[in-house]
């Protein structure tokens, strides 16, 4: 395998004495469980990376809830686009649940879209939505800083209603 360049320390558990249990690969390619000292592994959001203590590039974890809504109870006639505010700098949103409700007898199509990296992408589309019915989708839609959630409605009559809700979680990446 060649000469080892260091140790790979993978956190795998916690014990009551507050020591981190980790897997360690030694120079003979033996894998063993060790109690990692604070200077060996990850401590909070920082780790031993590239020979120096530094912030980990991205810990993709939970920082808070995302609950967004796009509501318009007086749509213009024809086609219209309603937009949410953009994802703030230093955040990533992982949307896990999208819902759509249209109150209209004339809407021919409704799309929940994301403008992701400047490209408009259909996340969910419902042709001829039934008035008053909630449409539900689960997934993992990742929105980076500057990305925008939108709903586009086609064939509306003046003052029709649209409600879109998006739920998920936020990852702060600027700490």
Domains and CATH numbers, the chain: 10-50 (no CATH), 64-172 (2.60.120.230)
What pLDDT score does 125 carry?
A: 96
Give the Cα separation of 10 and 47 in Å (integer).
11
What pTM was estimated for this model as a whole?
A: 0.66
68 close to 84: Cβ distance less than 8 angstroms: yes
* Structure-model confidence comparison of residues 45 and 131, the more confident one: 131
- Reported as a single tens digit per residue, the pLDDT across 5-43 is 555 544 555 445 555 555 566 677 776 666 544 444 444
- Reported as a single tens digit per residue, the pLDDT across 59-79 is 567 788 999 999 999 999 999
Residue ranges of E strands in the chain: 10-14, 20-25, 31-36, 42-43, 46-49, 52-55, 64-72, 78-83, 91-103, 109-116, 119-127, 134-143, 148-156, 161-172
């Amino acid at each position: 395998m060649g000469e080892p360049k260091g140790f790979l320390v993978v956190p795998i558990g916690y014990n009551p004495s507050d020591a981190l249990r980790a897997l360690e690969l030694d120079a003979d390619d033996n894998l063993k469980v060790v109690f990692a000292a604070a200077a060996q592994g990850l401590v909070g959001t920082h780790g031993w990376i590239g020979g120096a203590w530094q912030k980990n590039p991205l810990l993709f974890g939970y920082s808070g809830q995302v609950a967004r809504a796009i509501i318009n109870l007086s749509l213009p006639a024809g086609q219209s686009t309603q937009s949410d505010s953009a994802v703030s700098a230093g955040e990533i949103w992982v949307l896990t649940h999208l819902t759509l409700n249209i109150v209209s007898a004339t809407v021919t199509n409704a799309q929940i879209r994301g403008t992701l990296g400047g490209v408009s992408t259909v996340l969910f589309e419902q042709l001829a939505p039934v008035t008053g019915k909630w449409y539900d989708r689960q997934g993992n839609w990742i929105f980076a800083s500057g990305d925008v959630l939108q709903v586009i409605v086609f064939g509306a009559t003046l003052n029709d209603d649209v409600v879109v809700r998006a739920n998920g979680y936020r990852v702060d990446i600027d700490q």
